[in-house]
Structure 1
Amino acid sequence: MDKNQACYLCKGCGLGEALDFDNLQEVVEEAGIGEVKFHDALCSPDGVALIQGDVDGGVNAVLIGACSSRVKNDEFNFGPQVIVERASLREQALLCSEAEYEGEEEAGEDRQMLAADYLRMSAVKLAKSNVPVPFQLELEPETALMVVGGGVAGINAALAAAKTGTQVYLVEKEGALGGFLGKMAKLAPENPPYQELEDPGLEALVAQVEADEKIKVYTGTTVDKTEGAPGNFTVTLTGGDSFRCGAIVQATGWLPYEPEKLADELAYGTSPNIITNVDMEAKAKGGDLGGLGAVAFIQCAGSRDQNHLPYCSAVCCTVSLKQAMLVKEANPEAAVYVIYKDIRTPGQSEEVYREAQRKGVVFIRRDEDYPKISESGGKLAIETKDMTLNDTVEIDELDLVVLATGMKPNNPKVVDAPLVALGMDQEAAKKLAAEAKAACDSWSVLNLQYRQGPNLPTLKYAYPDSHFICFPYETRRTGIYAAGTVRRPMRVTQAVEDATGAALKAIQAARAAAEGVAVHPRSGDMSFPEFAMQRCTQCKRCTEECPFGAINEDEKANPLPNPTRCRRCGVCMGACPERIISFKNYSVDMIGSMIKSIEVPEEDEEKPRVVVLACENDALPAIDMAARKGHKWSPYVRFIPVRCLGSINLVWIADALSSGIDGVMLFGCRHGDDYQCHFIKGSELANVRMSKISETLDRLVLESDRVRVEEISFNEVDRIPEIISEFMETIEEVGPNPYKGF
């Protein structure tokens, strides 16, 4: 595009007193922007009007030197056809620096150089940016929603979507709607005063579905094939019916933990009177509790156990309390025991616990060891350690022992195999890849036609999460959302809320695809990766490393991008060794040029330069908050925001070091079992790639200590100055970069 550029420098928030604006004007003009204007408060109505007036007069590329790009976004939004680049002079030059570097005059000089570098980098970014053009699907975008699973979550997701006017296809594998809700005798109290058991209410829900003309129901049906991408999924069902939809909600519910695996610990299978909580619910549903004189419930049967289910299933305690109350209702004289490690009753379920106590249920807190169960004369006996009495107790003459087994997601577990392309151990990679393929081939809910496999990627417990803190419902397949107990263990009221949230997110995803913009976390981003295919070497790095399955391959291994699946993280850009992938407003060339625009003082000036490539999701907010909190750090550090650490191309490190930069740090989100990375694999991939940087450093004859990766959560504000200070000490120890001046 032909750019008419202008720069606006703000003197507010103390910037006018701290910086030499005449010097900054010269810096901007030398960077190629001829028009530079000052204002005492650019975010004020007068300041915004100043810029808007120039935009109306033809300016279409605006550089603003003021506060962080994370604030005042509405004020500095001049429409989709105007490129706006922000230089963070307040947070990253003024607030974080202080007069402690060889006196006031020297400190002022360092701060001035800091501000000047940020303007240079921002000017380069402005020059290299172009207005993104939203991706448009070839076919008319589809906004209908498919919901797979007709239990409480699936039904409520369908009803919620239909209320917005969205067409819904509800697919249930059983012959009737209801899922496990249809098998429940009663619900634990869900409404004040949380003491009376409640009816499941399934009939009313099904009636609502049947009466809604926006919902088409398929029962006794599964998904045979799901092709396409958000806004253009084509679904084929068993039986041959097919339809297009814009997004999908998977609400396939849960499976009970296999009690057969508890044969050694809890004698399951040795007596027909040792049953699971699911069996107990069936007895209650059938009205088969009246003849019970003594019942014991054993909690955490296989849950919170590293040999079985390591996690708590959240609802088992409440379910056992409900079933204990049902036994008491059937026979008030029955002896009912609950043997537990910890009673966990989230929310208002504490009242259920109190009501069970009032009804005479006896609670025995056991230790980590499972109770010993034996049978004699058709009756069962339990021996366990009572932690309250600190003594062994024996309970005999039991008619029934109920094992509170946990919940597993009704979803195939997908093994994440390490990538051979990343240089990991070949044999280990092949073994895990084989496990991954076996897991995917065994069964599938959606039968996705993705190069990366037919199933949703999962966490280690088979839950199809993406970012479990910031983006509930989201899976690693854009436009596909998980709701209810397939996402995490939860009770009925939580599943209803979950279903509504997932349905609304799915509708947003379908509409975003129709508009050609991204969904979370870069909501509304109109850019998407573009491939210079003439230079592609078919290395498969982009297809293998994309966290979202946004890139398929043709028969010759050429990448086939699916832009509506893309989250715009740039991981493919960082992966590509040929650097053929770029965005209109984010590219390898852009960041590399920004790094090269930093002025590097001569060695004898003893002013080292360090570049920090900072993730915009966690690290950049932490940096801003640290500055506003009053933290100070070296004025020799320059921050460059990146979309994700996974988007970092190794050439940037080489560019920085070969241009005389003394050190490079990468600030990104945490990764691992409890990862925080907004793009799933970005931080992990960056760590793997950085482990290979030694090759580049060896080639340049530089120390490995000059490059460091740091994981930072957005709330770890106080760590920022500590990390920088420690790294600057390291740089001082290894000495100046020998490439200064070249």
Structure 2
Amino acid sequence: MEKKIGAYICTGCGIGEALDIEALSKVATTEYKIPICRRHAMLCSAEGTALIRADMEAEGVNTAVIAACSPRVMADVFDFGCDKVVERVNLREQVVWAHPAGDEDTQMLAEDQLRMGIVKAREMVPPEPFQGENLSKRILVVGGGLAGLTAAKETASAGYEVVLVEKADALGGYLRNVYKLPPSSPPYESLETPDLDGPVKAVVEHPKIKVYTGATVRKISGAPCMFDAKIGANGSEVEERVGAVVLATGSVPYDPTRLEDLGYGKSADVITADQLEVMFKEGNVKRPSNGGPVDAVAFILCAGSRDPKHLPYCSAACCVESLKQAKYFKEANPETPVYIFYKDIRAHGTYELLYKQLQKDGVIFVRGTVTGVDDDGTGGLVVSAEDQLTGAPVVSESVGLVVLATGMVSTAALGKSFKAVTPKEGEDEPEVPEDTILASNLLNLDYRQGPEIPALKYGFPDSHFICFPYESRRTGIYPAGTVRAPMDYARAVEDATGAALKAIQCVEMSAQGKAVHPRAGDLSYPEFFMQRCTQCKRCTEECPFGAIDEDEKGNPLPNPTRCRRCGVCMGACPERIISFKNYSVGMVGNMIKNIEVPEEDEEKPRILVLACENDAYPALDMVGIHRLTYNPWVRVIPVRCLGSMNLIWIADALSKGIDGVLLLGCRYGDDYQCHFIKGSELANIRMTKIKETLDRLVLESDRVRLEQISIADYPQLPKILDEFADNLANLGPNPYKGF
């Protein structure tokens, strides 16, 4: 592409008053020989964008460097089509709003940011979207319970074909054994009879839904819009081409045999809530020990939940289920004594009204820790507890039945575990900490990272807990319902609808060659210069999303529609053979090399900040929006993910004479916030190699530092930046200045 660049400098929002615009313009026209450089008081206005469009039409400008506000805003305003290159230079939030107006250092900062923007624009090429073959927009739904039925129905209602796979002989899942449902309409006090036949019939008879019952998924290979699913049903195997997958296999009750301290297994009259539900469904509510009537009942909530010895988490629906079942007894006989022993009652939303109604009905609520379930000597049971409010012991009257509200365990957490990456004979151990992937026989993915989607805390296969619900670590696969997180019926319906919409978004965007998340709409994808590949496998092992396979010789085989465009593979590659048309190692390296570094005697150090675009860069914007200030020696380059950082950038910066490099990335850990899962963690691992680089350059290791921050940490950023600048001042100038 033959470039014709136009530079456009906005003078609005205080930029014109804070900077010498004439001097800034000369950076473009004199230093970089850009033929067209225009200024406007409000580039984001209709008049301002018309100015740029006029140059594109009349002057042949195909590359626009827009020095104005943050690239995080006005993206739609400055969209001039896929065939144009647009580079945004952040003069507002990160220059004039965060530094003193009219100051020499502020001016130098603005000029450096413009230099880097021009260099990047020169090297960028409009991305060409990846186009696969035999693309499918059908959605595979695995699981035919409430979430699966909902996902299938909502997807088909939106006009998309669905393949539904259910392992049982009939659809319905857990709902097939449910007697009644909690109230969902005013006055939220009466239980409701479930209508399972209606939803099942709507799915089975829908012309766009193909249903397999008594079936399992034997293998899924491929990538979004190109998944091939082998389904075993009725002794035969069929193959379906699908575009995305909704995993809705639900959960199972926690194993009650581990709750001997609550009497399970010791007394036949200690049962689980699920067993009680079946009794009511079948109309056979009797004491298992002798077949006698249940004259009194006690419920024990959090039986094995919120307990580090069992399930550390709250299972969300147990409280409401116990309230519902207590209502069963009160509806059958208002005089039946009903006890509920609980740690906390979590009856959120309108369920609070059901809770209050049961108080009126005479249910006895005891908040305390259960200390024992014992035989009272007459064939009945008594529950002992320590009242949390008074500290006094509490003992129930003799009851015929004790019901344990056991928690729920995701079906993704079942089965044996194994290591995701096993080095072959003669290979070194991989540097990346190994995931534990759960082999639960749900999807049987043909991925080198393992057959199931990785799980987060407690075995639930959720993704980014703030920004990306439904999205797993395998692009195009969306967990929904209680396989994803503990939840009640109403939330499961909402959850399945959300997952269906995400699956639809996935197939639509993947068919256009666009990234799905979090860089939604990105048309770029990694390209490999295979002539220099050494088959080191770093890219395949470090990719967080399984987007790169290997052939029999160990060469990388990219799956572009699995790719989330984070650039982790680019940062991992020691030969630097991986690049994007608008993001590459060389491109960022040249941006670094075009920062003007003052001589040592000018006493103006320079700090390079590589800021993750997901949290760190927005946090820097927030600093400016709140008019906080920080050291003007900082030069910021946004990166797609800190995991895309290649160590050569550190060497480029320090050999250029830049005094220090600060890496700002997302937080990571069990409750990770990194938008690309392992990006900042990988950067931290690579930091161990930076010392080798610094030793080779005979420089102090304190010149490079990594900080984990979230966008909410913006008030601390000025202190972080200023303290780093102070530390560099104590170290003294980089000895490579001037070379």
TM-score above 0.5: yes
Instruction: Kindly indicate whether residue 596 of structure 2 is the aligned counterpart of residue 599 of structure 1.
Output: yes
- 2-side partners of 1:429 and 1:344: how far apart? 43
For residues 84-142 of structure 1, what are the alpha-carbon distances to aligned partners after superposition, in whole Å with 9 as ceiling and x for unaligned? 0011111122111126xxxxxxx6211111111001000110011001000000x2311
Q: Partner of 2:272 in structure 1?
A: 276
Tell whether the 8 Å contact from 1:271 to 1:375 is kept in structure 2 after alignment: no
- 2-side partners of 1:149 and 1:660: how far apart? 59
Q: Which moved more, 1:731-740 or 1:152-161?
A: 731-740
Q: Which moved more, 1:379-388 or 1:680-689?
A: 379-388
Aligned-partner SS, 2:398:
strand
Instruction: Kindly indicate whether residue 221 of structure 2 is the aligned counterpart of residue 221 of structure 1.
Output: no
Q: Partner of 1:13 in structure 2?
A: 13
- 2-side partners of 1:615 and 1:322: how far apart? 48
Tell whether the 8 Å contact from 2:127 to 2:523 is kept in structure 1 after alignment: yes
- 1-side partners of 2:417 and 2:634: how far apart? 40
Q: Partner of 1:405 in structure 2?
A: 406
- 1-side partners of 2:38 and 2:372: how far apart? 78
Q: How far 1:324 moved relative to its partner?
A: 0.8
Matches within 5 A, 1:129-278: 129-137=124-132, 139-238=133-232, 239-263=236-260, 265-278=261-274
Gaps of at least 5 residues in structure 2 are 287-292
The alignment yields a C-alpha RMSD, in angstroms, of 1.9
For residues 488-518 of structure 1, what are the alpha-carbon distances to aligned partners after superposition, in whole Å with 9 as ceiling and x for unaligned? 1111111111111111110110111111110
Aligned-partner SS, 1:456:
coil
- 2-side partners of 1:338 and 1:576: how far apart? 59
Q: How far 1:387 moved relative to its partner?
A: 2.1
Q: For residue 283 of structure 1, what is the amino acid of its counterpart?
A: M
Aligned-partner SS, 1:496:
helix
Tell whether the 8 Å contact from 2:141 to 2:162 is kept in structure 1 after alignment: yes
Instruction: Kindly indicate whether residue 660 of structure 2 is the aligned counterpart of residue 658 of structure 1.
Output: no
For residues 261-319 of structure 1, what are the alpha-carbon distances to aligned partners after superposition, in whole Å with 9 as ceiling and x for unaligned? 112x2232111111111111111111223721111111111111111111001111111
Tell whether the 8 Å contact from 1:412 to 1:444 is kept in structure 2 after alignment: no
Q: Partner of 2:317 in structure 1?
A: 315
Q: Partner of 2:290 in structure 1?
A: none
Q: Partner of 1:731 in structure 2?
A: 728
Q: Partner of 1:53 in structure 2?
A: 54
Tell whether the 8 Å contact from 1:175 to 1:219 is kept in structure 2 after alignment: yes
Q: Partner of 1:475 in structure 2?
A: 472
Q: How far 1:388 moved relative to its partner?
A: 3.0
Q: How far 1:726 moved relative to its partner?
A: 1.2
Tell whether the 8 Å contact from 2:376 to 2:398 is kept in structure 1 after alignment: no
- 1-side partners of 2:469 and 2:351: how far apart? 23
Q: Which moved more, 1:398-407 or 1:708-717?
A: 708-717
TM-score by length of 2: 0.95
- 2-side partners of 1:96 and 1:416: how far apart? 50
Q: Partner of 2:463 in structure 1?
A: 466
Aligned-partner SS, 2:546:
coil
Q: How far 1:378 moved relative to its partner?
A: 2.5
Q: Partner of 2:108 in structure 1?
A: 113
- 2-side partners of 1:571 and 1:362: how far apart? 57
Q: How far 1:417 moved relative to its partner?
A: 5.3
Q: Partner of 1:327 in structure 2?
A: 329
Q: Which moved more, 1:156-165 or 1:287-296?
A: 287-296
Tell whether the 8 Å contact from 2:167 to 2:213 is kept in structure 1 after alignment: yes
Aligned residue pairs, count: 724
Percent identity of equivalent pairs:
57
- 1-side partners of 2:521 and 2:76: how far apart? 14
- 1-side partners of 2:663 and 2:678: how far apart? 15
- 2-side partners of 1:126 and 1:456: how far apart? 38
Among 669, 674, 684, the alignment partner of 2:671 is: 674
Q: For residue 319 of structure 1, what is the amino acid of its counterpart?
A: E
Tell whether the 8 Å contact from 1:33 to 1:123 is kept in structure 2 after alignment: no
- 2-side partners of 1:603 and 1:293: how far apart? 89
Matches within 5 A, 1:267-306: 267-289=263-285, 291-306=293-308
For residues 194-245 of structure 1, what are the alpha-carbon distances to aligned partners after superposition, in whole Å with 9 as ceiling and x for unaligned? 1000112111111211221111111000001111110011111112111111
Report the CA distance shift for 1:487/1:670 in structure 2 as closer, same or farther (over 3 A): same
Q: Partner of 1:387 in structure 2?
A: 388
Report the CA distance shift for 1:418/1:234 in structure 2 as closer, same or farther (over 3 A): closer
Instruction: Kindly indicate whether residue 522 of structure 2 is the aligned counterpart of residue 528 of structure 1.
Output: no
- 1-side partners of 2:623 and 2:436: how far apart? 42
Aligned-partner SS, 1:715:
helix
- 2-side partners of 1:288 and 1:314: how far apart? 28
Among 579, 587, 598, the alignment partner of 1:582 is: 579
Instruction: Kindly indicate whether residue 129 of structure 2 is the aligned counterpart of residue 128 of structure 1.
Output: no
Tell whether the 8 Å contact from 1:574 to 1:647 is kept in structure 2 after alignment: yes
Tell whether the 8 Å contact from 2:18 to 2:100 is kept in structure 1 after alignment: no
For residues 682-727 of structure 1, what are the alpha-carbon distances to aligned partners after superposition, in whole Å with 9 as ceiling and x for unaligned? 1111111113311111111111111111111112221111111111
Q: Partner of 1:554 in structure 2?
A: 551
Gaps of at least 5 residues in structure 1 are 100-106
Aligned-partner SS, 1:147:
strand
- 2-side partners of 1:202 and 1:408: how far apart? 23
Aligned-partner SS, 2:117:
helix
- 1-side partners of 2:306 and 2:32: how far apart? 61
Tell whether the 8 Å contact from 2:371 to 2:386 is kept in structure 1 after alignment: no
Q: How far 1:22 moved relative to its partner?
A: 2.1
- 2-side partners of 1:428 and 1:612: how far apart? 28
Tell whether the 8 Å contact from 1:3 to 1:61 is kept in structure 2 after alignment: yes
For residues 131-176 of structure 1, what are the alpha-carbon distances to aligned partners after superposition, in whole Å with 9 as ceiling and x for unaligned? 1000000x23110111000000000100000011101011100000
- 2-side partners of 1:215 and 1:69: how far apart? 42
Tell whether the 8 Å contact from 1:418 to 1:429 is kept in structure 2 after alignment: no
